[in-house]
Amino acid sequence: MWPRRRFLRIALIGFGAAAVAAIGAFAVIWVLTPIPDTTQELATAQGSVIYYRDGKTVLANRGVDRKNVPLSAVPKVVREAVIAAENRTFYQDQGVSLSGTARAMWSTLTGNQIQGGSTITQQLVRNYYSGLSQERSIMRKLKEIMISLKVDRSKSKDWVLEQYLNTIYFGRGAHGIQAAAQAYFRVDVGKLTPAQGAYLAAVIQQPSNFANPTGAMLTAAQARWKSVVDGMVKIGAVTPAQAAQMTFPELKKQKKPLSLSGQNGYMLAQVVGELNRMGYSDEDIFQDGLKVTTTFDKKLMAAASDAVADVLPEGTPKKVRAGLAAVDPGNGEVVAFYGGRDYAQSEWNSAFDAKVQAGSTFKAYALAAALQDGVPLTQRYYGNSPMYVNGAAIPNSGGSSYGSVNLVQATQYSVNTAFVDLGQQIGLDKIAAAAEAAGIPAEQLAQHRKAATFPLGVASVSAVQQAGAYATFAAGGVHHEPHVIRSVTDASGKTRKTDTTGRRVFTEDTATDATYAMEQVVTSGTGTGARLYDRPVAGKTGTTDASAAVWFTGYTPQLSVAVDMFRDDNLPVTIPGYGELYGGTLPAQIWKAFMTTAMEGKPVKEFPDPVTYYRWDNDYYRPTDDEEREFASDEPSPDPTPTAPGDDWNTPPPGDDGGQPETTPPPSDGGGPDDEPPVTEEPDNQQPDLPDENNPPDVPVGTR
């Protein structure tokens, strides 16, 4: 008896010591295992949704597909379906279920798994908090249990369930119950039926297999769904009669990820770039659940692509690129653009990234500079060809001479020598200032602003810059910075809208007269190919030396659009059947095709009447054909050559293969003076009408 009693005493002491040690160890672990104060990035990340300008049509998704919702937004029967599937004692247990762990082991052995071994609290802790890996180890499991117990003591059950429903992965790329409701049934979570809620609860167990089940996997999904419904009956979520009426729900076809091909990639790249400039990091975009409403009009984006595709003939060389940008003059919103054939093939954006010589579209800024300086449209300038500045000959297109021309005629027929004369008289700095005021960055003008040919467009610009600058004229001299984002709403519902306040850079009279002169370009000048027969249009053609870049930029009172064409390698833009292009040909036709769609159904708005152009203009000066005027300045002007190869602001885009052009284009030999010939059969003989006492000169008439 004594040995037995002694053994029992020792055993009891040992057991007690072990128990005390276990309790002590538990206490130590309890103290040393606080609830983490950080969460896993994936658990809380909400991807951003980017919309077209209507704020409803999705353009793209970035980051994790999750939209957090409060527990109250989830129907009670859907919550109970998840509880029935994952943790039927959720509202009774302490956050940890030993029986559940044992049941999980048994289910694994039998292959008939109905419930997971971990409680909802344990699953949340494992997937929500930082510092808990997914590895299978005793220490990790012990840590999970400790934190789960603490969470259960410090947080409400509803809080745990809300975080769980927003955290768990449901397959089809959907994180959280709201994203899952959209992914599987195209409804918000609040509109889920009990049968649909039961299916989403069933998916939690095997999200990949049950995302799009077919064949044997569909049978398994149906069986799992039925077991969840049975569980809902057992916990009282639905009655047996209600369960009997439930049928396996029809799953919507899974949406394909939004493609970045075509124009989508170009749009997304511009949006992300502007968000970065606004102070949003890539992490913000991918994880903070932003709702971004862009300025892009889906219909007009398609119209831009269609205009280019329909106008460019078959056989257009792949190295020939076209860019188009459309800007709302009233707020600077870029409503549409054409960035290239396919973003998936080339990320170089012809509308935003490509900066090519402006050619004669730049003359609009010289015109504005003169008007702003008090020069009237009736002021006359030298229009014969060539004109010599510091010994350098600057010709008109085709060597045409026009005699003395006023600013309307100089613009209408794009007379190079007249604009060089203008620049010499008012000063090139004023032209640079006007271009900057309209939105052309100063750094793109810096190396050219002392050249006599500066007014002729030797500086390089992008299509969106040109559209935004010409929008200044359409807006009566008020400039709005072009932008692609209307508003950004964060996950808390706070909205940040883009400031569209414009700034006056030209007087209203300057914008009015510049518009009038550019109207004549379209009605009877070099840009008749862009004429819209139901409404007035103002614009300007542009062609650089040897057609290295060709432009048409124009506007109605409601929309400003720039179209350019160029080659990757800066060589002449030639099209089979067209030869070397002028801005008044294919660019003007693309502009017209786009604007025909864009203006469809829009009210016809008229431009205001000119301010400084009169019916009687007798101040004519006509030099003889062999007359030449020479100008001398205190400082010699640079030779009239265009931007040299390697110019940072005229760097061609990468080739189609992603590399740089194989050849370096030779420097131009004309300084960018060539432009469209006047629209006459014999341009060399086209001269302004001489004044006649009985027959006033044939010039456009203004009312003021």
The verdict on whether 580 is a catalytic residue reads no
The one-letter code for the residue type at 307 is A
Closest CA to 406 of 378, 384, 385: 378
Residue of 48, 80, 86, 144 marked active site: 86
Residue of 118, 346, 360, 462 marked active site: 360
3-state SS, one letter per residue, for 637-694: CCCCCCCCCCCHHHCCCCCCCCCCCCCCCCCCCCCCCCCCCCCCCCHHHCCCCCCCCC
For residue 424, CA distances in Å to 70, 428, 454, 464, 633 come to 69, 7, 10, 29, 9
Containing H/E element for 186?
A: none
Query: CA-based angle 99:153:30, to the nearest 5?
Result: 80
The one-letter code for the residue type at 230 is D
Burial pattern 659-698, b for ≥16 Cβ within 10 A else e, equals: eebeeebeebebbbbbbbbbbeeebbebbbeeeeeeeeee
For residue 596, CA distances in Å to 167, 196, 304, 592 come to 49, 47, 11, 6
The verdict on whether 519 is a catalytic residue reads no
Supply the Cα-derived Rg of the chain in whole angstroms: 36
The neighbour count for residue 234, using CB atoms within 10 Å, is 10
| Residues facing residue 349 across a β-bridge | none
Token digits for 266? 């170009």
Q: At what angle do helices 120-128 and 157-167 cross, to 10 degrees?
A: 60
The one-letter code for the residue type at 17 is A
Residues recognised as catalytic: 86, 360
